[in-house]
A and B are shown apart, each in its own frame.
Chain A
Amino acid sequence: MAKKVMFLAFAMLVLVAMPVFAQPAAGGAAPSTDLGGGLKYLGLALGMGIASGLCALGQGKATAGATEAMARNPGNTAAIRTALIIGLALIESLALYMFVIVLRG
């Protein structure tokens, strides 16, 4: 029964997503022969996505390690929390380097 519900939900999602295929027609109304310009934005978007995704993976692992350590030894929660915040900020800055490139063009 659960499998049927999942299949129906997936089918509905795909149906709802159909209008996506209409976009090239709308966007093609003003065709741009400048492939280079378009590729730049594609590159920026992909780069930012990859940077954010990998940053999220790293921060997830950091948080997981920190919470597990805090659960095993609640006594030094403060020290673990400090190390966690520093680690998160440093990992965050790596995704921000990509953001700077995106903002710059």
Chain B
Amino acid sequence: MHEHEPWLTALFNDHLAGVANSILGIFKITAENPERPWATWLVMELLVAAIIVVLFAALRPRLSVDNPGGLQHLFESLHDFIKTTVQETGIEHPDKFLPYFGAVFIFILFMNLIGIIPTFESPTMSASVTLGLALCTFIYYNGWGFREHGPTYLAQLLGPVLWLSPLMVIIEIISHLARPLSLTIRLYANMLAGEQVTTAFEGVVALLVPVIFMGLHVFVAFLQAYIFTLLSMVYVRGAVSHEH
């Protein structure tokens, strides 16, 4: 089924199809439609990454202690916001984790917001993208858990009381596996629902009503980026905290 491609994806498919096919060939994968191998979500994700890199490249020379500009204020307040949120979640030494949480928050926020621009599409509307992000969080918090506790990190699965362990292991494994699943579906469904609702209302009243839903989409974009980051922090805290 050929659906209408955004112009950027068509651009990539027209000129860079060979690149995509050769990269896929390294992994022995053939695209669904080898003549148009670039998926929209991949193109949009690369675009968002490029935008973020350009933004930070523009920020870096403008950083100054004595005379901060507007961009510096914005990113300083963002940094403080994430640091306070990490501290509120209960992690003792937030500086070790700030790079990942900041990166995840900014990346998801930009990916969500790019869907507002008319000819672009949020890459987070595709489950592939959100699954990738959720797996990053999964590997991150488990990695830190192993780093802090060593192999005894797995003892967390046994639960509080020893004679409950057989039951607790099953429950804990299922809940640990449910975390990336819920992160994936929550972000993906929110973005997809926003776009579907806007499209549905555009079919009914094309003039001003969809603007309300696009405004809601902006709010949901911020909220879902925040929720994803917050839940990542909660999982990291659960993995890293030294209790009793």
Contact = CB atoms under 8 A, between A and B. Distances in A.
Interface of A: 85-86, 89-90, 92-93, 96-97, 99-100, 103
Interface in B176-196: 182, 185-186, 188-190, 192-193, 196
Contacts, number: 29
B195 to A, nearest CB: 11
26 contacts: A85-B223, A86-B227, A86-B230, A89-B224, A89-B227, A90-B227, A92-B190, A93-B182, A93-B185, A93-B186, A93-B189, A93-B190, A93-B227, A96-B185, A96-B186, A96-B189, A96-B190, A97-B185, A97-B189, A99-B189, A99-B193, A100-B185, A100-B189, A100-B192, A103-B192, A103-B196
A96 B223 contact: no
B223 A89 contact: yes
Chain B interface residue number, banded: 10 to 19
Secondary structure of the A side of the interface? helix
A63 to B, nearest CB: 15
A56 to B, nearest CB: 15
Contacts of A103: 192, 196
Contacts of A97: 185, 189
A52 B185 CA distance: 16
A100 B130 CA distance: 14
Given A96-B189, A96-B190, 16 more contacts: A85-B223, A86-B230, A89-B223, A89-B224, A89-B227, A90-B227, A93-B182, A93-B186, A93-B189, A93-B190, A93-B227, A96-B193, A99-B189, A100-B188, A100-B192, A103-B196
